[in-house]
Chains A and B, each alone.
Chain A
Amino acid sequence: MIGIIMFFVALVLLLFGFPVAFTFGGVALIFGVFAEGMDMFAFMPFRIQSYMENTVMMAVPLFIFMGIVLQKTQLAEQLLEAMGKLFGSVRGGLAISTILVGTLLAASTGVVGASVVAMGLISLPVMMKYKYSKSLACGTICASGTLGQIIPPSIILIILGDVLGIPVGDLFHAALLPGFVLIGAYIVYILIVTWLNPEAAPAIPHDESMGSRKEQVLDALKAIVPPLALVLIVLGSIFTGIATPTESSALGGVGAVILSLLYRQFSFKMLIDSATETVKVTAMVFAILMGATAFSMAFSYTGGDAIVEEVLLNLPGEKWGFIILSMVAILVLGFFIDFVEIAFIIVPILAPVADMLGINMVWFAILIAMNLQTSFLTPPFGFSLFYLKGVAPSSIRTMDIYRGVVPFILLQIAVLISILLFPDFYGMG
């Protein structure tokens, strides 16, 4: 019960606007010490150490650095503008480009913090420059940034494979089509929105200086080459086995610095400034993780996990009722506990029931992964939302972000339902 009260208290206190990380930490401390005594916090160094030794998270500073260098050298801006122009009169070109860039990042990392922040740095300023609706821009970035969860390689799929006893390769394979359908749904949504409301995502205005169509295409190609080379380095190094996905993020960072040299944008000041900015953003991401780990510690050590277990054990024992209620339960829990906890605590409770009901476990795993991806987007505790807020200019308000993600959450739920209803289409019948 304490866990539930703690959750709502944190919710209210967050609204006052004190930094999220320390509000979580402080609330955890007050409730934890009150219920269990100070000694619970002796666990904190161990919890922090588990982040320190989690080398997959190293992608966070490294990809952020790559994003910041690309931004400072204007290479990212040129890429997105060029892609936007290439789509020509298509409104929403920048948003679609953002989704495509997000897809490429997703294919090289499964760490949401790294993707959302890098995307926020790379494309938010450009979309703002071209007067995109704030909420559309924010929603697009948050949603694209979470694609790393479903597009392999993905941490959540690896964990689910482990928990459910399914080979990781099978899950990676099965996740591809749902991932592409989701990306397609995002793009279709952007096209519809910009058709209904041209103001939301204006086309990059055409002026004479931009030259003929042919010149535009050439310009676009020129602008695309350097960042594309970078993407090829990152993805290529993973694909050829030169580097692990995490290491590829460092190659991306080094590659970005080399590009800045080639394009005469390099200076030591730029390098140090980029590193300093990276530290600020990285610290923001990890402070939230530190606060959240304290919060989840207090939640589980005061009996929160037991309550959740009990609720789940009372789910109905008939196929559709079970699936629908377990999906709703995961979605709701995703509002306030992190996906690792869900994978390790909730999924093992559901798995034997699913097995008994003859449910295809790969299908079940993909449903859960899609569902957990959504939990990164759901206000108020969606980590993507915090991360984007942390790098957004102050003209972007929390409300813009909340409003922006709602349609994308609905899209994800729609795709989730389509996987539920048409497993055969997704090859998981």
Chain B
Amino acid sequence: MSGEKDLEQLKKEAVAKAKAAAAAKRQAKAAGTSAPKQAENPVEPVKAATPPAVEADSASDADDLAKKKAAAVAKAKAAAAAKRKAMGEAPAEETVAEPAPAADAGDDLAKKKAAAVAKAKAAAAAKRKAMGEAPAEETAAEPASATDADDDLAKKKAAAVAKAKAAAAAKRKAMGEAPAEETAAEPASATDADDDLAKKKAAAVAKAKAAAAAKAKAKAAGVGTDAASDGDDEKAKAIAAAKAKAKAAAAAKAKAAAGGKAGDTSIPETETKPSANQPFLDKYRKVIEENLGADVLEDSYINKLSKDVPTLVAKRGTYFKVAQFLKYNELLGFDYLSELHGSDFETHMEVYVHLYSYKNHQSVALKVKIDRDDPTIESLHPLWAGAEWPECEAYDLLGIKFTGHPDLRRIMLGEDWVGHPLRKDYEPYDVEV
């Protein structure tokens, strides 16, 4: 007996020790975190290299939609920005390479399904700027009128000064040569655009549509260049001497395009489409608020990262009540507990429950934040028998105590295990393990 007691004593001491060590570590971490975190950001190679892209990136980072975007898109963006920058520094090459950034701007817009028109618009605006016209009304115009703008532009061009014309023509010529190349070089970003589209649709449909979109885009590009090459080709030849000026104008244009891109991307990204599950979330919230009162939910939102699942965050005191209501209310009827687990978020513990209704064929995620120092919460076992083992697991690995659980025990680890491994401050009791 005394031997056992000693063991117990030893264990307690070890726990105390481990806890102290963990606390010290945490403190050290807390002191250290802010600095390294800040240091981490600028290390991002792509961003540091291209200041204009950084702005666009961080702006889009803030956006919900942008978060969803693959990192690949960011990369493509950065590449485009780099290209633009290279152009600014080396205008000699830029006339040939210029169409790429314009196309990039179009690609971003393509996600909003206006790729072709937008591209034409951007090109038109840039041209107008190069010619010294007031672009205000035209840029504000609807995308649909972009082709009209092109026509207008053609007329204006005819009346424009020879130098400006030369610049535009040379540029257009460069464009006319480039599109073939550009479309060949573009598939990377094009597929990125496809990615976003496809997410919202079944794969098959998405692919067909994406192909169509790509085609339309190519067509639009073709139209723009066609119109450009119409009357100006011979003149362009004649004004080969004005090349130097054309370069300068084109450089200005590229800059304008870059500016336009940043502006254009930020506008459509802010208008997020409401999720298809939004009505369900509204319904759940309404039913719960009508029956349980307005203050049982801490938060409710659509989790866009998780296939748009409606997510309810219950308050600590109303968790069981909300869960019970979700199961037994006829309008909700969540009869199936798909998943239950806990997480340690250092500031708090969280229990995540994924429910499904075989009656209404709907999912909901229910979450509750609980105190980290005294992680206690009602058990859902009386509602769903399937919660028994997952709750044991959460107790075993995180130390969350579920009141009302019939047999809360360590289910994975041995009964004599010290500590709860999935807690972020866990220190192994036995270093050999």
Bind each other: no
